[in-house]
């Protein structure tokens, strides 16, 4: 496939993804967006609504408006923004609840740092798109809270979760549930991502310092210097507490770390990160199947052969990014193969993508097409990244 065709097909797919969410996810009765849609497009009207889903919808339609300023994208982003402030924002303690019920009442009120990151990501993108000063103020407020509460001043990095009133807790961490797992790669990835986005619009010295610190966390602790894969879980002092390799997170990190270094504007640091990004992408090739899809993860004893939707989206961007840096044609071939796999195996007739394929290469139809974790962010963002990079 030539790059012009690649770009054209991805443009059409972006429209399909956005239109699916516009046509299926808007909750006209209770406000905001439905919390769950099944693989066969059945809307679960009484499903709880998650902070991650709603924040990612806000980011997606704000970014879509920047990409193509359609009124409907602006209206949808505004709907997400206003719903987050009205129902997810904790008016007493600040920050976002982890979930609300289908009518918008607080349900899980703890503060997942991962979730706060996505709320910040959505607010900062909304400001980028529409220059709403209140959204920028909320993003800055979240940044300042996270730095005060979640940042480990002794060892660097960020903790996982707090109570509603911002006290560090060990319950509800998004790790393997082991007591000695205090920090995760995933949370750090989704803190550097919104911090980078905030720095685009708010050139604050402390924010820049923290992004530099996060890059150092990745290069010194998270990315293994021998294997160029990422460790997933850590003790407070960055002692590694897991042997799992997440192929999707590796390839996603490879391009998000480059983005962070680019936005910082430090040329020396950028060249260092680009080199590491290519090494991570090369290591991620071990997760590729012969059909172009990327497996989920692997530990010392087992290869998880599921191929989740978000992993394929990130592979498409990550390998394209590695090709741009290195000019190694194999990386471009991987990006194109990812797109062919997506078209063949994930795109559904009504729009959006299946959750993924199971270990037998069958669609995972018992999983959501839209839900607590299944959002328009990975695939819509991947499409926009491909379009931008090939323009």
CATH number at residue 339: 1.50.10.10
Which pair of structure tokens corresponds to residue 41? Answer: 């497009």
**165-216 tens-digit pLDDT:** 999 997 776 666 667 889 999 999 999 999 999 999 999 999 999 999 999 9
HSE-CB at 85 with a 13 A cutoff on CA atoms is 14
**237-256 tens-digit pLDDT:** 999 999 999 999 999 999 99
**Domain total of the chain:** 1
Q: How far apart are CA 309 and CA 326, in angstroms?
A: 26
Which pair of structure tokens corresponds to residue 380? Answer: 């819509």
Rounded to 5°, angle at Cα 64 from 59 and 66: 100
- Write down the mean pLDDT value for the chain: 97
- The domain in which residue 196 lies consists of 3-389
Strands 245-246 and 233-234: unpaired
Task: Provide the pLDDT for residue 180.
Answer: 80
- The model carries a pTM of 0.97
What percentage of residues in the chain have a pLDDT greater than 90? 96
Task: Provide the pLDDT for residue 295.
Answer: 98
CB 39 within 8 A of CB 354: yes
What percentage of residues in the chain have a pLDDT greater than 70? 98
Task: Provide the pLDDT for residue 177.
Answer: 61
Q: Cα–Cα distances in Å, from 257 out to 212, 219, 230, 262?
A: 10, 10, 13, 9
- The pair phi, psi for residue 183, each rounded to 5°, is -135, 155
Given a cut of 70, whether residue 291 has pLDDT beyond it is: yes
Residue with tokens 């402390």: 206
Helices and strands (H, E) in the chain, number of each type: 12, 12
**91-128 tens-digit pLDDT:** 999 999 999 999 999 999 999 999 999 999 999 999 99
**149-169 tens-digit pLDDT:** 999 999 999 999 999 999 999
**339-387 tens-digit pLDDT:** 999 999 999 999 999 999 999 999 999 999 999 999 999 999 999 999 9
Q: How far apart are CA 78 and CA 97, in angstroms?
A: 19
Average pLDDT over residues 24-35: 98
Average pLDDT over residues 274-278: 98
Task: Provide the pLDDT for residue 170.
Answer: 79
Given a cut of 90, whether residue 17 has pLDDT beyond it is: yes
């Amino acid at each position: 496939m030539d790059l012009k065709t690649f770009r054209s097909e991805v443009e059409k797919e972006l429209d399909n993804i956005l239109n699916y969410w516009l046509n299926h996810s808007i909750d006209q009765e209770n406000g905001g967006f439905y919390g769950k849609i099944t693989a066969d497009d059945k809307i679960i009207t009484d499903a709880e609504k998650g902070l991650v889903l709603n924040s990612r919808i806000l980011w997606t339609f704000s970014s879509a408006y920047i990409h193509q300023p359609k009124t409907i994208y602006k209206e949808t982003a505004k709907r997400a923004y206003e719903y987050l402030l009205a129902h997810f924002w904790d008016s007493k303690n600040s920050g976002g609840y982890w979930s609300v019920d289908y009518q918008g009442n607080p349900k899980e009120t703890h503060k997942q740092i991962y979730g706060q990151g996505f709320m910040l990501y959505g607010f900062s993108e909304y400001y980028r798109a529409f220059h709403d000063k209140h959204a920028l103020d909320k993003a800055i407020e979240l940044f300042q809270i996270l730095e005060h509460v979640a940042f480990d001043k002794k060892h660097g990095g960020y903790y996982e979760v707090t109570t509603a009133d911002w006290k560090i807790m060990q319950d509800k961490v998004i790790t393997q549930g082991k007591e000695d797992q205090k920090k995760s790669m995933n949370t750090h990835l989704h803190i550097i991502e919104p911090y980078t986005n905030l720095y685009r619009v708010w050139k604050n010295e402390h924010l820049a310092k923290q992004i530099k610190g996060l890059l150092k966390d990745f290069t010194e602790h998270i990315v293994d210097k021998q294997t160029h894969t990422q460790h997933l879980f850590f003790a407070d002092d960055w002692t590694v507490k897991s042997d799992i390799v997440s192929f999707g997170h590796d390839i996603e990190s490879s391009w998000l770390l480059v983005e962070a270094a680019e936005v910082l504007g430090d040329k020396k640091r950028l060249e260092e990160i680009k080199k590491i990004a290519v090494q991570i992408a090369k290591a991620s090739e071990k997760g590729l199947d012969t059909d172009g899809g990327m497996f989920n993860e692997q530990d010392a004893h087992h290869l998880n052969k599921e191929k989740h939707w978000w992993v394929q989206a990130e592979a498409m961007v990550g390998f394209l990014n590695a090709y741009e840096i290195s000019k190694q044609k194999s990386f471009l071939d991987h990006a194109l193969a990812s797109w062919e796999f997506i078209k063949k195996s994930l795109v559904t007739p009504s729009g959006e993508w299946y959750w993924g394929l199971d270990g037998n290469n069958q669609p995972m139809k018992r999983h959501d097409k839209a839900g607590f974790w299944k959002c328009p962010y990975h695939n819509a963002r991947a499409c926009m990244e491909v379009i931008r990079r090939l323009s």
